[in-house]
Structure 1
């Protein structure tokens, strides 16, 4: 039996998926609701009707990115509740370049009070999930998050992750300082 129309929730998910790609490419300031609508194959008016504004769509996109990260961590911790296992799961997210670019754009747009509030809340939620899942100390969580943010930046430069450029000497030296489970963030599933 062929399915008819999408539900509003399904369409919302489709728009957020399109927004991830659009905001990753253009950032918050450089992306319009029309850009998202074109990527999703809907009208700009429909995007505004569902989300109300570009800002609310961006906030939903940031929450979606945090949800994906937390889902990956929870799945990894179900197998092995260690920082090492969560680190491998995060390094695997480097393949989702658009998702991590949205996180970077959210940080860059945090001077906007509402964006900043959502970024702080979502970052805090992930930090608390890491503690809950691994029983890590606050210092260990800080170090884990610092490594993750550095990997995110390196991934955005295509210095690590799928399709990375050949490493320059500074990068080889820098990666050697990472915990062993993160030393080859392009290895994907082979590190498990």
Structure 2
């Protein structure tokens, strides 16, 4: 009987596999709390292979962060211009909350923004979200600022697990509910 072997992955497929594993590992440990060895184990490859493909941990994180940020921007850019664009862009961002790893990496990227490459990605993401809101809605700079700030506050609340801890602190509860609304809080608690 002949043993069956699975087909070899191309270098692009292997690279994507490592990036997906790195997204999950960085989401939980952040930039400083994650090693390339942890990423390698999660991806089922050797640590020297990860370093050979990506260089340093900072370069790997920058690529993961760029990919996560791009997903956010693509979701916002997919909304067509018009009178309902602001609400649709908000919903597009809320839909991304389903991928907790994605949004945790986005949060970690803002924290790791002191690294020049990561800081550049963070600034670009914020600027693009601001521009896209104004372009899609025709809104003012103030309205765009509020949209971006609201999204960041939602991300902070989700990252700090505020929806899962409703009932622990009445002031945080009030902030969470007035920021996210009852339906979104319930959805975040369920996920």
Query: Where do residues 34-73 of structure 1 align in structure 2 (5 Å cutoff)?
Result: 34-73=37-76
Alignment-derived partner of residue 105 in structure 1: 108
Are 1:83 and 1:134, in contact at CA under 8 Å, matched by a contact in 2? yes
- Identify unmatched segments of 5+ residues in structure 2: none
Q: Which of 13, 18, 25 is the aligned partner of 1:15?
A: 18
Task: Report the TM-score when normalising by structure 2.
Answer: 0.82
Q: Deviations over 1:108-136 (max 9, x none)?
A: 11122222122212322232233333332
The total of aligned residue pairs comes to: 181
Counterparts of 1:37 and 1:80, CA distance in 2 = 47
Q: Which has the higher contact order (CA 8 A, sep 6+)?
A: 1
Larger Rg: 2
Counterparts of 1:80 and 1:93, CA distance in 2 = 22
Alignment-derived partner of residue 173 in structure 1: 174
Query: Where do residues 1-192 of structure 1 align in structure 2 (5 Å cutoff)?
Result: 4-77=7-80, 82-160=85-163, 164-167=164-167, 168-175=169-176, 177-178=178-179, 182-183=180-181, 184-186=183-185
Q: CA RMSD in A?
A: 2.5
